[in-house]
Amino acid sequence: MASLRLKGVHAVVTGGGSGIGAAIASALAAEGVRLTLVGRTSQTLEKTAVELRAELACEVHTETADVADRQAVDAAFASARAEHGPIGILINNAGIASSGPFADISTETWRQTMAINLDALFHCSQAALPDLLAAPAGRIVTVASTAGVRGYAYIAPYVASKHGAIGLTRALAIEYARTPLTVNAICPGFTDTGIVETAVAKIQTATGRSAEQAAAELTRFNPQKRLIEPVEVADAATWLCLPASRSITGQTILVAGGEVM
């Protein structure tokens, strides 16, 4: 049985309707949190909320918002507070990825990637900050990527945005080190989510390889030669949110099967 170590804490999860975000939401719900799932697609959010309520009998609220839009974030967080009270945990998970040669990247693609993968961290962290500082054990956990600590070809905007996410994590951790707030990042390797499915399909189209061969192009980075499972990332995120993890701050936790940086 779950120990409910986070019972009653209000956790906001961006990009919480699917993939890693949904896995983190489930893991936190099993520890007793009250959830707010934030994302751009209401149907996806509601589907996940229904499943969580049925499986874990938890309190789940959803907010449809573009986390790259500060006014939308402020409105969504205000509504979340009205539903579940002050925010004690913020999971910055929403993100996008695009691929292509650097020379072909448009300004629009660059700005969109930065807006969702980096600007949104600023918006959400700042919007939740008063609550987090007032909480007994406030937590910010950002889902970054191994792309935040190393380079990969053909995904320059993604790599740059995730390096920025790591930098912001470290800056906030130092700035608020004398408070109960901790700020950390998790860096998954290639994970079995919709983003990787899209990447595999793109490799297939570009190279004529089979799905298995295309997936191998991504898993070759992982010494374990497999995709990371979303639940593995969720377990790491949950650990960082526990009161007992109060000395863990400013860290980048790699969930990547031993991938060398």
Mind listing the pLDDT tens digit for each residue in 83-98? 999 999 999 999 999 8
- In this predicted model, which residue has the larger pLDDT, 50 or 202? 50
- When pLDDT is averaged across residues 57-82 and rounded to a whole number, the result is 98
Residue range(s) of every CATH 3.40.50.720 domain in the chain: 10-189+229-254
Active-site option among 152, 154, 158, 176: 158
**158 tagged catalytic:** yes
Side-by-side strand order, sheet with 252-255: 60-64, 34-39, 10-14, 89-92, 139-143, 182-188, 252-255
- Residue 200: pLDDT over 70: no
- When pLDDT is averaged across residues 67-96 and rounded to a whole number, the result is 98
- When pLDDT is averaged across residues 103-126 and rounded to a whole number, the result is 98
- Of the pLDDT bands very low, low, confident and very high (cuts 50, 70, 90), residue 139 is very high
pLDDT recorded at residue 210: 73
Model-wide pTM > 0.85: yes
- Residue 261: pLDDT over 70: no
- In angstroms, the CA 257 to CA 93 distance is 20
Q: Which residues, 6 or more positions from 50, have their beta carbon under 8 angstroms from its beta carbon?
A: none
- In angstroms, the CA 252 to CA 259 distance is 14
Rounded CA Rg of the chain: 18
- Of the pLDDT bands very low, low, confident and very high (cuts 50, 70, 90), residue 37 is very high
- Residue 118: pLDDT over 70: yes
- Of the pLDDT bands very low, low, confident and very high (cuts 50, 70, 90), residue 227 is confident
Q: Other CB atoms closer than 10 Å to residue 208's CB: what's the count?
A: 9
Could you tell me the end-to-end alpha-carbon distance of the chain, in angstroms, rounded to an integer?
Answer: 37
- Residue 195: pLDDT over 90: no
- Residue 193: pLDDT over 90: no
Q: Out of 3.30.2310.20, 3.40.50.720, 1.10.8.10, 3.60.21.10, which CATH number does the structure's domain 10-189+229-254 have?
A: 3.40.50.720
- % of the chain beyond a pLDDT of 90: 80
Backbone region of residue 214 per phi and psi (left: phi > 0; alpha: psi in -120 to 50; beta: other values): alpha
How confident is the prediction for the chain on average, in pLDDT?
Answer: 93
Mean pLDDT is lowest, of 93-97, 149-153, 190-194, 256-260, for: 190-194
- In angstroms, the CA 91 to CA 93 distance is 6
- Of the pLDDT bands very low, low, confident and very high (cuts 50, 70, 90), residue 3 is confident
- When pLDDT is averaged across residues 27-49 and rounded to a whole number, the result is 97
pLDDT recorded at residue 1: 44
Q: Which residues, 6 or more positions from 129, have their beta carbon under 8 angstroms from its beta carbon?
A: none
pLDDT recorded at residue 203: 72
